[in-house]
């Protein structure tokens, strides 16, 4: 989970699944849960959207699904355009995996990584030692199923989360320190050929979505 300071309430955003993390503009605490998954309405460009949907961490879209009941909304013209084009599939793996909002933070065990968790060799725990691994695995599988169902070609995920992190995750000490490596959802999506981008790489994600499938460029 992330440890992020509160922030202003987020707009409704698209939909989402469960879970909660992220930090960008940290939206105020609120709703206990959010819809599991939801796509934006296709107001135009439906054909284009059908060929390039993007799964986005729900907390980045304003859903208050982080462990602390907040969001981490990313306000960006690219996201606005994706929304207008009907490309966005909002999803929160941790809520989808059955965890409530709010909930205790959780981190991958010290010295382990997402691969070890996916292979059953390590777990994810709260500061009190509760093993919540099954929820994170269920959420990762739900994200993959959602991505497959909606023809998702890319994912824009919240950095540092044990679910959504791409380049780093918290190191299991609950000190705010991170270690390199992805979260379990990001890794599972990558394992199945979905291009994953951190929320700081919006331009790259957009370029990928607009590249025809199979085009090496």
Instruction: Please report, as ranges, the residues that interact with ligand SF4 according to CB under 6 A.
Output: 19-22, 57-59, 65-66, 92-94, 158, 161, 163-164
Report the Cα 153 to chain-centroid distance in Å: 15
Q: For the CB of residue 62, give the shortest distance to ligand SF4 in the complex, in Å.
A: 11
Instruction: Count Cβ neighbours within 10 Å for each residue of 35-62 and write b for 16 or more, e otherwise.
Output: bbbbbbeeeeeeeebeebbbbbbbbbbb
Are 155 and 56 within 8 A, CB to CB? yes
Q: Could you write out the DSSP letters of every residue in 85-109?
A: HT-EEEE-HHHHTT--SS----EEP
Q: For the CB of residue 163, give the shortest distance to ligand SF4 in the complex, in Å.
A: 4
Comparing CB distances to ligand SF4, the nearer of 93 and 172 is 93
Are 126 and 29 within 8 A, CB to CB? no
Q: For the CB of residue 134, give the shortest distance to ligand SF4 in the complex, in Å.
A: 15
Comparing CB distances to ligand SF4, the nearer of 52 and 183 is 183
Comparing CB distances to ligand SF4, the nearer of 49 and 164 is 164
Comparing CB distances to ligand SF4, the nearer of 70 and 87 is 70
E strand or H helix that includes residue 205: helix 202-209
Q: For the CB of residue 110, give the shortest distance to ligand SF4 in the complex, in Å.
A: 20
Comparing CB distances to ligand SF4, the nearer of 20 and 152 is 20
CA distance 159 to 55: 14
Q: For the CB of residue 65, give the shortest distance to ligand SF4 in the complex, in Å.
A: 5
- Which residues, in sequence order, are bridge partners of residue 170? 178
CA distance 22 to 102: 14
Q: For the CB of residue 44, give the shortest distance to ligand SF4 in the complex, in Å.
A: 27
Comparing CB distances to ligand SF4, the nearer of 96 and 112 is 96
Report the Cα 103 to chain-centroid distance in Å: 16
């Amino acid at each position: 989970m992330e440890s992020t300071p509160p922030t202003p309430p987020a707009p409704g955003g698209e939909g989402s699944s469960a879970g909660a993390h992220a930090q960008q503009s940290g939206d105020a605490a609120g709703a206990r849960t959010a819809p599991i998954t939801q796509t934006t309405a296709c107001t135009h460009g439906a054909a284009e959207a059908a060929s390039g949907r993007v799964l986005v961490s729900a907390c980045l879209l304003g859903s208050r699904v982080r462990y602390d009941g907040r969001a981490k909304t990313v306000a960006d013209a690219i996201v606005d355009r994706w929304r207008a084009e009907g490309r966005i599939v909002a999803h929160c793996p941790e809520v989808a995996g059955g965890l409530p909002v709010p909930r205790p933070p959780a981190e991958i065990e010290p010295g382990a990584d997402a691969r070890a968790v996916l292979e059953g060799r390590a777990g994810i725990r709260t500061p009190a030692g509760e093993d919540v691994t099954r929820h994170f695995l269920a959420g990762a599988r739900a994200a993959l199923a959602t991505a497959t169902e909606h023809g998702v070609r890319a994912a824009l995920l919240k950095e540092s989360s044990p679910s959504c992190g791409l380049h780093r995750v918290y190191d299991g000490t609950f000190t705010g320190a991170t270690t390199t490596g992805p979260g379990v959802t990001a890794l599972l999506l990558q394992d199945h050929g979905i291009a994953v981008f951190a929320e700081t790489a919006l331009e790259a994600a957009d370029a990928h979505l607009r590249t025809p499938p199979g085009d090496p460029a």
